[in-house]
Amino acid sequence: MNEIASTSNIRNTSAAMVLIAILASTTLSGCFTVGQEFAASRVPEIKIGETRKQDISEMFGQPWRTGLEDGHPTWTYGIYRYAVFGATDTQDLLIRFDNQGVVRSYSFNSTRVKQPITRLE
């Protein structure tokens, strides 16, 4: 019986050591991600007063978050990568709809510096 208890303790200790090693490596690397990727390159395709919720769903998929602003629906798409020892990489798109489901305004923000996003006319 003592031999079985001893083996069980060794397994529990080994599992705890593995868990501690995983947590330590995550903590030491200091990286974590929140949100989900979305097609930021398609942001210029959004037309205020024209683009509908269905169009937004086809462009970007399901929103990461939904909410209300001044009684109107909002959808948020975002990906946020944080690092203690490196650059933060974030992109977010907040879309505000009217009560008919048409885009009334939006904002897009990014820390990625590649090329400016221009509005399609």
Domain boundaries, the chain: 31-110
**pTM over 0.75, yes/no:** no
Q: How far apart are alpha carbons 38 and 79 in whole angstroms?
A: 8
Instruction: Give me the pLDDT at residue 118, please.
Output: 55
Instruction: Give me the pLDDT at residue 36, please.
Output: 86
Question: For tokens 């203690």, what's the residue?
Answer: 84
Instruction: Give me the pLDDT at residue 31, please.
Output: 77
Q: How far apart are alpha carbons 98 and 93 in whole angstroms?
A: 17
- Cβ(100)–Cβ(47) below 8 Å: no
Instruction: Mention every residue, 6+ apart, whose C-beta is less than 8 A from residue 120.
Output: 44, 45
**Taking the CA of residue 3 as centre, how many other CA atoms within 13 Å lie in the half-sphere pointing to its CB?**
0
67 has pLDDT over 70: yes
- Cβ(35)–Cβ(78) below 8 Å: yes
Q: How far apart are alpha carbons 18 and 24 in whole angstroms?
A: 10
Single-letter amino acid, residue 35: G
7 has pLDDT over 80: no
pLDDT digits (tens, 9 = 90+) for 8-62: 555 667 777 766 655 555 555 567 778 888 999 999 999 999 999 999 999 999 9
CATH fold, domain 31-110, is: Beta-lactamase Inhibitory Protein; Chain:B, domain 1 (3.30.1450)
Residue 83: C-alpha distances to residues 25, 32, 38, 93 (Å)? 13, 7, 20, 21
pLDDT digits (tens, 9 = 90+) for 78-108: 988 877 776 678 899 999 999 999 999 999 9
